Amino acid sequence: MYVLGVVGDEARAVADDLAAEFGEDGRVAVVARDPTASDGTALETSADATYRLADGGWTASGRDRALSDVLDDLAPEYDRAILVDFPAADVPQVVVGAGPEEVDHAGETLLEAADADGVDPAEIRARLDATEPYETLESLVAEAKRSEDAPYSGAIATFTGRVRAKEDADDEPTEYLAFEKYEGVAEDRMDAISAELEEREGVFEVVMHHRTGVIEYGEDIVFVVVLAGHRKEAFRTVEDGIDRLKDEVPIFKKEVTTDEQFWVHERS
């Protein structure tokens, strides 16, 4: 799922136009900040979540829900998500409105425009699709299940790599890892590895994703998902997949502990 933020004076109008454009070739979710409910008083019950279902659609409300939790829920079902008025979100952002340079926001600036007329939705879609998608284990499993060979599959095996604090009790704790990818080459190599593994008897789908940027202790880094006929092929292929990804894909890791920081490949 590709995630786009829209901030500025005309953010909501632009988000509507983008949702219409994005919806032409996929499912779109819009997440809008509601300033009237920031203190939680909008809840009508003491439940943690409330869903309302009707013939024309559904609505939901709840408490203690972070933006990352919402994106995790959306990723398996939607192709793109638009965040309206979340300037702190570290996602590609479109800044629109009077004085766009004055809008303080995180994430890459995809476009700055003085008003909604300066935003071309088709251009934004092309730029967004060139960024790194927001993937979770659940979204990749959902992708594998959509394979045309899914009726022949009796097994899904997965691997998730995460940031550990330390290997030994005496190690200094790792605060975060930072990953950089050899753009274009890394994606092509992962695609090639997946295609080669899918040539195995009984292996139908191999999906890989490696996050880049800063990933903090306890967060997920890399996923491998294998859809196969039986568990033996699935287990063997998921292990070979992560081994080959680590050995063959040009992704560079910087480790930052409480005492130092260093590129891991320089100490290998």
- CATH at residue 156: 3.90.1170.40
Q: What is the mean pLDDT of residues 68-94?
A: 93
The reported pLDDT for the residue numbered 39 is: 47
Range of the structural domain that residue 256 is part of: 137-267
The last residue of one of the domains, among 111, 128, 145, is 128
Nearest-angstrom CA–CA distance, 166 and 172: 7
Give the Cα separation of 93 and 87 in Å (integer). 8
> In this structure, are 74 and 14 located in the same domain?
yes
On the question of pLDDT at 38 being above 50, the answer is no
Residue 12 and residue 121 in one domain: yes
Q: Compute the distance between CA of residue 252 and CA of residue 95 in angstroms, rounded to an integer.
A: 31
Of 128, 147, 178, at which residue does a domain stop?
A: 128
Q: What is the 3-state secondary structure (H, E, C) of 224-265?
A: EEEEECCHHHHHHHHHHHHHHHHHHCCEEEEEEECCCEEEHH
Which residues, in sequence order, are CB contacts of 35 under 8 Å at separation 6+? none
**How many domains does the chain fold into?**
2
Q: Do 99 and 190 reside in the same domain of the chain?
A: no
On whether both 172 and 248 belong to a single domain, the answer is: yes
One domain for residues 151 and 103 = no
- The residue from 80, 99, 128 where one domain ends is 128
CB atoms closer than 10 angstroms to residue 235: 15
- Whether 110 has a pLDDT exceeding 60, the answer reads yes
pTM value is 0.84
Burial of 134 (0-12, 13-18, 19+ CB in 10 A): buried
Section 121-140 average pLDDT: 94
Q: Tell me the Cα Rg of the chain.
A: 21
